[in-house]
């Protein structure tokens, strides 16, 4: 039996600007994504078998452990691409990243699965092939694979690495609200004013110079999602310099500790986190 364990980081969107809707139904975006040292862990055990079996398990009751899970889909795509058969994959998903939170929890797990399988099978796929698999499964996987800081364009799958401005970060997640990407884009579609300030280009230029400006943080989804959720409005009122990540419902603030009067019964607060330069990595045990 062979075994591998990898850690897969969460991400936040320092900027997220929706440009237009594409013919394939997706949206073109420009976003600066940043990896954070909040990790899920993917452990894969490999055994020979008379049949091909993918078996998922984990510690969370908020995700499915069947064919609908992105990890299962990633494993299936990898085996099909490499024509590997007659293996029993036992994949355990240890969740710490909140679900349906705008932190790419599912995407980073799937990226970690591609990475781990390529390692355990002695790298049958090159970087370009892995990148293609990531892009075929979701918009955030390519970023999650490599982490750090990057400009993400297209539907999010095209990445351009940027210097990482290392700083402390705090995450705030309402306990009873999860927002799907479908809901977020549906809300955005109803907006009359879909303009954006092009903060992405401005922040990219600063990062390239080793500088940073918190006033450039921006998310197109905020004005679409806020009217539907009082809890999100409350976060913004209590912490004006916070920003929603992705399609929500998690907010982040680039400060080590919060002094806001948020009831911890209603919110999960992750303090003393840091931005990181890395993506998926092997855990040496």
35 neighbors 149 (Cβ within 8 angstroms): yes
131 and 194: one domain? no
Question: pLDDT higher for 134 or 268?
Answer: 134
pLDDT digits (tens, 9 = 90+) for 70-108: 999 999 999 999 999 999 999 999 999 999 899 999 999
Of the listed ranges 72-76, 204-208, 236-240, 280-284, the least confidently predicted one is 236-240
- Told to judge if 131 belongs to the known catalytic residues of this protein, a careful annotator would answer no
Write down the pLDDT at residue 119. 98
59 and 155: one domain? yes
175 and 98: one domain? no
13 and 88: one domain? yes
- The CATH number of whichever domain residue 210 belongs to comes to 3.30.70.890
The span from the CA of 148 to the CA of 34, in Å, is: 6
99 and 143: one domain? yes
Quickly state the pLDDT bin for 189 (edges 50, 70, 90).
Answer: confident
Write down the pLDDT at residue 260. 65
- The CATH number of whichever domain residue 33 belongs to comes to 3.30.230.10
Of the listed ranges 45-49, 92-96, 208-212, 246-250, the least confidently predicted one is 246-250
Average pLDDT of 223-251?
88
156 and 265: one domain? no
Is the predicted pLDDT of residue 25 greater than 90, yes or no?
no
Q: Which of 40, 112, 41 is nearest to 70 (CA)?
A: 112
Q: Give percent of the chain above pLDDT 90.
A: 73
Query: Which range marks the domain in which residue 229 is found?
Result: 168-274
65 and 188: one domain? no
Contacts of 259 (CB under 8 A, 6+ apart): none
138 and 26: one domain? yes
134 and 7: one domain? yes
- Burial classification of residue 32, based on how many CB atoms lie within 10 Å of its CB (0-12 exposed, 13-18 middle, 19 or more buried): buried
Write down the pLDDT at residue 259. 65
* Region of residue 226 (phi > 0: left; psi between -120 and 50: alpha; otherwise: beta): alpha
Count of helix runs (H) and strand runs (E) in the chain: 8, 12
User: Strand, helix or coil at 255?
Assistant: coil
- In DSSP notation, 112-148 reads HHHHHHHHHTT--S-HHHHHHHHHHH-SSHHHHHH-S
155 and 261: one domain? no
Write down the pLDDT at residue 3. 97
Residue with token string 């003393």:
272
- Told to judge if 140 belongs to the known catalytic residues of this protein, a careful annotator would answer yes
User: Strand, helix or coil at 51?
Assistant: coil
Question: pLDDT higher for 89 or 165?
Answer: 89
9 and 91: one domain? yes
Of 11, 73, 95, 204, which is the active-site residue?
A: 11
The span from the CA of 111 to the CA of 150, in Å, is: 16
The span from the CA of 225 to the CA of 246, in Å, is: 11
pLDDT digits (tens, 9 = 90+) for 107-163: 999 999 999 999 999 999 999 999 999 999 999 999 999 999 999 999 999 999 999
The span from the CA of 253 to the CA of 242, in Å, is: 5
Q: Residues in the chain, how many?
A: 285
Average pLDDT of 170-181?
86
Q: Which of 246, 270, 247, 241 is nearest to 171 (CA)?
A: 270
Residue with token string 């809890």:
231
Of 40, 77, 140, 204, which is the active-site residue?
A: 140
Domain count, the chain: 2
138 and 236: one domain? no
The span from the CA of 60 to the CA of 194, in Å, is: 36
């Amino acid at each position: 039996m062979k075994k591998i364990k990898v850690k897969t980081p969460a991400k936040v969107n320092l900027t997220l600007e929706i440009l237009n809707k594409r013919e394939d139904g997706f949206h073109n975006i420009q976003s600066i994504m940043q990896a954070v040292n909040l990790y899920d862990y993917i452990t894969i055990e490999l055994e020979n078998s008379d049949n091909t079996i993918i078996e998922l398990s984990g510690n969370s009751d908020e995700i499915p452990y069947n064919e609908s899970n992105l990890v299962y889909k990633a494993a299936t795509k990898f085996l099909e691409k490499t024509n590997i058969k007659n293996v029993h994959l036992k994949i355990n998903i240890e969740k710490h990243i909140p679900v349906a939170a705008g932190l790419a929890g599912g995407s980073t797990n799937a990226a970690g699965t591609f990475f781990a399988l390529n390692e355990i099978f002695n790298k049958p796929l090159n970087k370009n092939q892995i990148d293609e698999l990531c892009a075929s499964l979701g918009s955030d996987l390519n970023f999650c694979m490599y982490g750090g800081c990057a400009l993400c364009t297209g539907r999010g799958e095209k990445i351009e690495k940027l210097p990482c401005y290392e700083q402390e970060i705090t995450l705030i997640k309402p306990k009873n609200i999860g927002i799907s990407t479908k809901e977020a884009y549906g809300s955005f579609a109803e907006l009359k004013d879909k303009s954006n300030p092009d903060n992405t280009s401005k922040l990219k230029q600063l990062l390239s110079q080793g500088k940073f400006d918190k006033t450039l943080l921006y998310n197109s989804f905020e004005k679409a999602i806020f009217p539907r959720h009082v809890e999100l409005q409350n976060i913004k009122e209590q912490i004006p310099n916070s920003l929603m990540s992705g399609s929500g419902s998690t907010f982040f603030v680039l400060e080590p500790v919060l002094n806001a009067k948020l009831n911890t019964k209603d919110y999960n607060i992750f303090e003393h986190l840091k931005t990181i330069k890395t993506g998926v990595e092997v855990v040496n045990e």
